[in-house]
A and B are shown apart, each in its own frame.
Chain A
Amino acid sequence: VSRRARSAASGLALLVCLVSVARGASAAAPAASTWHLEPAHAELDARAALASHGTFCTAPGSPLSPGARELCPLAGELEGCDALVKACHEGELDWNASWVQLLAVIARVLVWVMAAVAIGGVLVGLALLVRRMRQDGALRESVRGDAAPREGPASQRYALATTDAELLLRHAADHATAGRLDAALFAYLGAALSALDHRGAIRLARHTTNGEYLRSCREDAARPPLRALVRDVDRVQFGGVPPSAELVVDARARALAVVRGAGNEPGAAVRAATMALLVVMLGGCGWNPMRGGDDPAGNELLVDVLEGQGADVSELATSLVKLPAAEAGDAIVVVDTERTALDDETRAHLMRWVEAGGELVLAGRIGEWPADLGAKAAEGEGREVLFVSPVATGGSRTLHGKLASGAAMTWPSGGVPDLATASLDTGELYASVRAVGDGRVLAIASRDLLTNVGLAAPGNASMLVALLAALEPPGKPPVRAFRIARAEQGVSPPSNPLAALVRVGLGPALAQGLVFALVLFAAVGTRQSRPTPEGPPRRRAFAEHVEATGALYARTRAAGHALAAYARYADERLRAKMPRGSDPASFLALRSGADPDRTAALYARAMAARADDPKRGDELAMLRELSGLFAAATRATPSRGQRP
């Protein structure tokens, strides 16, 4: 340990002793007197806190956040903060660099993949659960049916009402203990098959034989014990071999090897990889590389300073929009709008809460403040701050502070006097305490006084405490509690989980997940459905009947029958169209424009055809010719049904 480090350590220890003595003295006083906002104590508290929580000074997180970087001008004002000064001089991360952009794209893709995997996993899990419940339900029903006394083979009597392999193992053990050795054997086989089915190595089905399970098993390690198990069970079930205790013991060992020895389970590696990926992803999402107190823009010193004043300081427990109606003695709420973004609903509620008697410390970005407050951001020139209190008396006490940059505001009084103010050395208003309705507001134009670096700067802690002292309403019980709003508490909470997902930008993913679920259900969901009786067969179209009939004729070589049937069909249609008393053949020739003699011969031959006529070989040719004439005569193209 170097000499310089030893001296620094002893100096810090001395400071801690001084602060302890001071706090001990104050603690010894009556409780009502502990709440004396003493600027002088605040300075000591700030120094002690710098010693205990000064990591932001000696080893700040790197690179500095944009908020912390804005506070860099104050770093030079602090003693022993060389590391912070050095960090301030380091180059800022170029957020537009190509590799940063690439990382951002990768991160987005990974997030989407994770979301898709999560949704898919849930849906698949649900589908499997439903499937298993249906299987179990069916088995239970079958068992209830078997409960009635009836005779049947052993395999039927010992049907088991579960698909849980471990439960089946216990059933088997119970059977073995009770001396039902054949039932024990069957249960052990059932346990093995159930476990394999659960792991996806086989697929249980009523029509699948044990040998088929064995051959289709995807787990190499499970095959030898399953083969032996199947052999023994088959010997008992089909071979007439009486079950023995030795068989049951062997079966138990083999079933256990299958059920619990899932060493080469293909899903194991996938699961391990998924878990590793999840851990990495969750680490990337939730792991904060900034250690406690090493953020220059953090608020650890604020907490220490306020606690040094005897106050109870903690984070706000509820959302700002749900702050209950203020009562005397309630906590002062501290809101840094650089850190806690406010939405419109929260701003409105915050104003109502203050007007009802709440006490609020508002700092940070002025544009985020409630508009009804009337404060506007203004250009500030200087960095020195001058505190004057009380305003009404023209100032009996003045304090000096230092800011990182000039920040000022305008806050029209509207006839309401300022209870205390702090102004820049150039005259612009920096902070003001004012009554608003029944409550009071301490408005500070920047967040400097609430940050670690800001409070570590000489004079700033006492100035903050002096401003807070002005917030104390006269004649009311002293407020001893401060509640600091967290980053997410400025936004009204969603009304339901769906709204939460939509608000964080997962609405499209949710919609896609629902569409995916619908598609998945349409694709495979019907497999899980209960089989229903088939409806009556669809009636065939006439053309299909004709095609089937034609194909039958062709197969049976019944060309004569086909010609006869078609001739009668054509004759019937022609007689429906032609004038009464005329000759169908003449009508056919006239309408089709064919040779009358040829048509008459063809028609006569076709009408005379019989199914049992000896084959002449030209029946199909005649049928085709007659079909053509008929189509021409009826001025219609031959339909599929009219083709021979």
Chain B
Amino acid sequence: MSPEQFALTFELVKKEMAKAVVGQADVVDGVLVALLARGHALIEGAPGLGKTLVVRALAAASGCSFKRIQFTPDLMPSDVTGSSVFDRQTTAFTFIAGPIFAELLLADEINRAPAKTQSALLEAMQDRQVTVDGTSRALPHPFSVIATQNPIESQGTYPLPEAQLDRFLVKLTVLDPPREVEERIVRNHADGFDPTDLSRLQAVVSPAVIGEMQDAVQAIRADDAIISYIVDLVRRTRDDRSIELGASPRASIGLLKGAQVIAASQGRSFVTPDDVKPMASAVLRHRVMLHPDAQLQGVTADDRIAEILRSVPVPRVAA
């Protein structure tokens, strides 16, 4: 698939999703980037901002098989991965696949389940397989986990461990919509829009096409200067005094992949610094751990990342 075809298909999916999702352009772009970069997305926001609707709309527009797991405190790992059940007739254990065997998995309110259950997703997200009773089973292709969570300060939640967070390519923050967008949302509902019924959305692509797009992303060229720029950005998070734990090399890889998707979505066959900078916050914000002093001073990860972006020179001709 050429970059031009990629860009057209990308816009087609976005346009179809826009039939159900009003506003939230950054979140829509983010989940698409995660899907096409073979990554996973974590969406954080207060209840009622349309996090789940975005994922369901993506599933409908992309034609991918879709499963949803509502994470609760009593959810068990086997509820996610599936389990072997003894079949009396065959006198053997039969594997009953869990909801994770879907091309698009919505892990709703993932931080309401304890760490043990959350960790059930680790192997799936990293190796795209699950191991139950010593047997590894491959997950479908494409496969992407899109998790939602309420802000960490909410009661009854379990913070995601760093290892789990690092598996997510991007963390997207959903903000309150502007007034005019909110009025359009309410107007749509007054006109009969039902968020539980997305049947009017059509699958404009297929999982196979999504796979082709993922392959096309791999072919996007990244110049040495771009790679150096990405590494500079990520390494700078480790030297920042306000950051106790910086981003890992996996973040560098994720940043490159995200930039490749952005470049392809604009019909380009190569990455520029303009593709890297917009992805930096989404890729890095959940991978850096702020120093307690910085937290007490009200500094956020986005603040530090913005400062880092301002401190690293972009690779271009000096004028």
List the interface of chain A (C-beta within 8 A of B).
139, 142, 153, 155, 158-160, 163, 168, 186-187, 189-191, 193-194, 204-212, 233-235, 237-240, 537, 547-548, 551-552
Cα–Cα, bound, A206→B223 (Å): 19
Q: Is B272 in contact with chain A by the CB < 8 A criterion?
A: yes
Closest 5 CB pairs of A and B: A190-B319, A211-B274, A186-B317, A239-B270, A206-B313
Which A residues are CB-close (under 8 A) to B274? Answer: 209-212
- From B241, B272, B293, A238 is in contact (CB under 8 Å) with B272
- Give, as a whole number of angstroms, the nearest-CB distance from B289 to chain A: 13
Q: Is B312 in contact with chain A by the CB < 8 A criterion?
A: yes
Which interface residue of B277, B311, B318 has the most chain A CB atoms within 10 A? B318
Q: Is B309 in contact with chain A by the CB < 8 A criterion?
A: yes
CB-based nearest A residue for B308: A207
- From A187, A205, A238, A552, B226 is in contact (CB under 8 Å) with A238
Q: Is B310 in contact with chain A by the CB < 8 A criterion?
A: yes
A160-B318, A209-B273 given. 17 additional CB < 8 A pairs? A155-B315, A160-B319, A190-B319, A207-B310, A209-B274, A209-B316, A210-B272, A210-B316, A211-B272, A235-B270, A238-B223, A238-B225, A238-B226, A240-B221, A240-B270, A548-B292, A551-B296
Which A residues are CB-close (under 8 A) to B293? Answer: 548
- Where chain A touches its partner, the secondary structure class is helix
- Give, as a whole number of angstroms, the nearest-CB distance from A190 to chain B: 3
- Give, as a whole number of angstroms, the nearest-CB distance from B245 to chain A: 16
Q: Is B133 in contact with chain A by the CB < 8 A criterion?
A: no
Which A residues are CB-close (under 8 A) to B226? Answer: 238
Total interface residues on B, CB under 8 Å, equals 28
Q: Is B83 in contact with chain A by the CB < 8 A criterion?
A: no
Q: Contact at B314–A207, with CB atoms within 8 Å?
A: yes
Q: Is B269 in contact with chain A by the CB < 8 A criterion?
A: yes
Which B residues are CB-close (under 8 A) to A160? Answer: 317-319
- From B268, B292, B314, A208 is in contact (CB under 8 Å) with B314
Q: Is B55 in contact with chain A by the CB < 8 A criterion?
A: no
Which interface residue of A168, A210, A233, A238 has the most chain B CB atoms within 10 A? A238
Cα–Cα, bound, A168→B271 (Å): 27
CB-based nearest B residue for A142: B318
CB-based nearest B residue for A187: B317
Which A residues are CB-close (under 8 A) to B127? Answer: none
Cα–Cα, bound, A206→B274 (Å): 13
Q: Contact at A155–B270, with CB atoms within 8 Å?
A: no
- From A163, A238, A547, B270 is in contact (CB under 8 Å) with A238
Q: Contact at A159–B317, with CB atoms within 8 Å?
A: yes
Q: Is B224 in contact with chain A by the CB < 8 A criterion?
A: yes
Cα–Cα, bound, A186→B315 (Å): 12
Q: Contact at A163–B314, with CB atoms within 8 Å?
A: no
Which interface residue of A158, A163, A208 has the most chain B CB atoms within 10 A? A208
- Give, as a whole number of angstroms, the nearest-CB distance from A610 to chain B: 23
Q: Contact at B313–A238, with CB atoms within 8 Å?
A: no
- 19 A-B residue pairs with Cβ-Cβ distance under 8 Å, sorted by A, are A155-B318, A159-B317, A160-B318, A168-B319, A189-B317, A190-B319, A191-B319, A207-B313, A209-B316, A210-B274, A211-B272, A237-B223, A237-B225, A237-B317, A238-B226, A238-B272, A239-B223, A240-B221, A537-B241
Q: Contact at A189–B273, with CB atoms within 8 Å?
A: no
Which A residues are CB-close (under 8 A) to B317? Answer: 155, 158-160, 186-187, 189-190, 233, 237
